[in-house]
Structure 1
Amino acid sequence: MAVTFRKSFRILPGVRLNIGRRSWSVTLGGGRGPRHTVSSTGRRTTSMDLPGPFGYRRTRSRRRR
């Protein structure tokens, strides 16, 4: 079994700092609206909870050269 590390800190209302073993990210928003996450690896994710068992997520990755 792999050992994982993940910690999340609330730094301001609506702003979270997420720290993992290999990268970190900042999440803005939440609650009833959309969430925008920007990772140190260049990945950007927009997600939103929808009524019922539905949800929305769109992820964009930075191109590597």
Structure 2
Amino acid sequence: MGITYRRSWRIFPGVRLNINRRSWSITFGGRRGPHYTISSTGRRTASMNLPGGFGYRHTTRRNRED
């Protein structure tokens, strides 16, 4: 079993800084309703929690130029 690390801090109301072992991300929005996440790895996710256990999520990845 591997060791995991994940921390999350609320910076401002509706803005969270998330840090894990490999990257960091910033999330805009609350738990209810739409929220948008931008990750240091280039992943961008827009998601929305809907009533009844339903939800919507759309993820895109940025093409990295080496």
Mapped to 1, the partners of 2:42 and 2:27 lie a distance apart of: 13
More helix by share: 2
Residue 22 of structure 1: aligned partner: 22
TM-score (norm 2): 0.91
Cα RMSD for the two superposed structures:
1.0
- Which portions of structure 1, spanning 4 or more consecutive aligned residues, are displaced by more than 2 angstroms? none
More strand by share: 2
Q: Give unmatched runs, 5+ long, in structure 1.
A: none
Tell me which amino acid in the other structure corresponds to 2:64.
R
TM-score (norm 1): 0.92
How many aligned residue pairs are there? 65
Mapped to 2, the partners of 1:17 and 1:3 lie a distance apart of: 21
Tell me which amino acid in the other structure corresponds to 2:10.
R
Deviation at 1:33, TM superposition (A): 2.1
